[in-house]
Amino acid sequence: MKPIRNNVLVRPEAPKTTTASGLLIPFQAIKKNNNPELVRAKVVAVGSGFRSVEGAWIAPDVKVGDIVYFGGLNYTGTVIEEDGVEYRLLREIDILMKEEIPT
């Protein structure tokens, strides 16, 4: 699968099953809330970018392999399932931040 324009395909991490204090979160609560906080995901594929109003080419800010964060699973992107694996197709603008590896 190859996104076009400024779209990004990510593979979200599994929802949290415990709280910060170590309490187990029931499966029903996980499914109901669908992890509304920030979701961490790995970039699987990236579109080629887009043209600005002035005609300049704007390349994506993320690349394959980057770890990114976006809004809760209920709110952002389109679910795509392939071979039993769930992916999320996002617009690049829906990505809130990415992890930077210190040098």
Range of the domain at 66: 7-14+34-98
Name, in order, each residue with C-beta under 8 angstroms of 75's C-beta and a sequence gap of 6 or more.
Answer: 36
**Measured distance CA(38)–CA(27) in Å, rounded:** 19
Is position 103 within any domain?
Answer: no
Is position 26 within any domain?
Answer: no
Whole-number pLDDT of residue 30: 47
**What's the longest Cα–Cα distance across the chain?**
53
**Measured distance CA(36)–CA(56) in Å, rounded:** 36
How many domains does the chain divide into? 1
From residue 95, how far is each of 11, 23, 24, 41, 88 by CA, in Å?
13, 29, 28, 10, 11
Whole-number pLDDT of residue 18: 65
Is position 65 within any domain?
Answer: yes
Is position 78 within any domain?
Answer: yes
| Secondary structure of residue 38 in the 3-state scheme | coil
Q: What is the CATH number of the domain that holds 94?
A: 2.30.33.40
Please calculate the CA angle 68-74-79 and round it to the nearest 5 degrees: 70
Task: Render pLDDT for 83-98 as a digit per residue (tens, 0 to 9).
Answer: 989 899 999 999 999 9
Counting as low any pLDDT under 70, the low residues of the chain are: 15-19, 24-36, 73-75, 103
Q: Can you spell out the DSSP letters for 12-37?
A: EPPPP-B-TTSPBPPHHHHHHH---S
Whole-number pLDDT of residue 32: 46
Is position 24 within any domain?
Answer: no
